[in-house]
Structure 1
Amino acid sequence: MFFIIKKLLLHKNILESEARLKESSLMMQNTKFITITSTIKHSAKTSTAIGLVISLVTEGYKVLYLGFDNKYNALPNFEDDADLVKDYILEKIILERAIRHFYSFYPFDMLNINADLVKLFKNATDKQQARIISKLFKDIKAERYHYVVIDLNYKDKPVHNTIVKLSDHCFYTINVKRYEEEKNHLDINSFLTVVPKKEHVKLLVVQFNRFMVDHHKFIENLKYIYGDFVFDYQIDSSRTMRNRIDHAYNYLRVNKLCTPIKKYIIESK
């Protein structure tokens, strides 16, 4: 009996030691910025961003969901407020849709910024806007987040291009059905030309046509055109991807979607 108790205590000490080591390594980690973006409509951009946040939170990371110029913007319009963007970091804006279903179980911070409502952006030159974003990233780092997942409704403008360039990882989501439209080919090519440092950019196929069977062939064709830009991830179920996050109350759905992305990010140096 004594031997069993001693063995259990030893096992408990090992687990506690491993937990302390993990906590210590998390504390030492620098903030990583991950941008999820697209110019293709209904490409599960927000679903992917929120799903990735939840997956990272379950690993014990401190995460900030940063919505930037996306359709869920909820930041009040302070007409007379010309303060630095960093002042918005402390605003915890709870989105009105899916996040409330997850927040109690997977707590993370939420912030939405609408650049049109921030006076500093309105009259700033391209270089000044880039400096504002750079300072915003620096101020967020001071909040000691492990990961910041940016849900960006991309347009070709200085603020957005700076966010993409400064991010550690950028995933451009593609809706397969809409990809067949010629305009979307031009959108992707245009997007790739604005990023001088391209190693951190990946094209992420997140929605397949309901009746599309040969997913592998589509990804191979995409890799033939875009090469290493394509994130080599085979989706198990098109239905999993087509369900929007605001209907996916089951955490396992979004976790299934984002686990390969999360693994890739965590393992990246």
Structure 2
Amino acid sequence: MAGRGEVATELQRQADVLALGRDMADLCNPAACAAAIHAHAPSAVINAAAYTAVDRAEQEQDLANTINGAAPGAMARACAELGIPFVHLSTDYVFAGHGERPWQPTDPVAPLGAYGRSKLLGEEGVRAAGGVAVILRTSWVVSAHGQNFVKTMLRLGADRGRLSIVADQVGGPTQARAIADACLRIVAQVQRHPEKSGTYHFSGAPDVSWADFAREIFARAGLACRVEDIPSSAYPTPAARPANSRMDCSTTEAVFGIPRPDWRIGLREILSEVQAPRV
């Protein structure tokens, strides 16, 4: 299992997994990642690691392509050679993000920027490996640790009376704990039913804008910070963001019995962990 980020941390909390950090499996070296899998001979691999600096990827496209594209492909080939399942996390950024209809796994992809293109390369490499593999696209990952929107809002909301937040980008915030649980359940099922291999979606419900998500964070955290709705054009970034990150997760529920998690419940759990007194 590769990665020490938000989802990887939750995987280690929920199951007995071997987490391979950069010292053991550097995603900048795809061959080394494949070799590590062969060396440890696990029963399955979950790739929860990625290059996630969306804006910086515009200037570091080669690095993003190596970490998000070449490395997953190499790991998937190693898993195929060993005959073990490979679960790979991808993103809503593989889509162009237009319209309002939730994206289905079979919809045409058209990434807007370097990050999305790098993740699409990874998907293509995983599929080309030809093994038992599940690509799980998710969105707006949040948790009590790492760098994410909830943590940023709590920090800024405690210091400011008002924040301007983008209101024309809509998607499903997804708790890292829920993603980890979904990955573990998927692994258990594809080990018995390899025919369930494929591409699936998994995101929190209900869909919400960043601005409304921020309002809910402040309300539940007891922060008196007002949110001003602004369009994406008023907050320019080096990389374009999908306006529509809604994801159709019905196939995931139908095949694996995993429904969309309620992000409001997840937010309550995150705030409880963040705000818990330290001893």
Flag whether TM exceeds 0.5 (same fold): no
Which has the higher relative contact order, 1 or 2, with Cα contacts under 8 A spaced 6 or more apart?
Answer: 1
Larger radius of gyration between Structure 1 and Structure 2 = 1
TM-score by length of 2: 0.28
TM-score by length of 1: 0.29
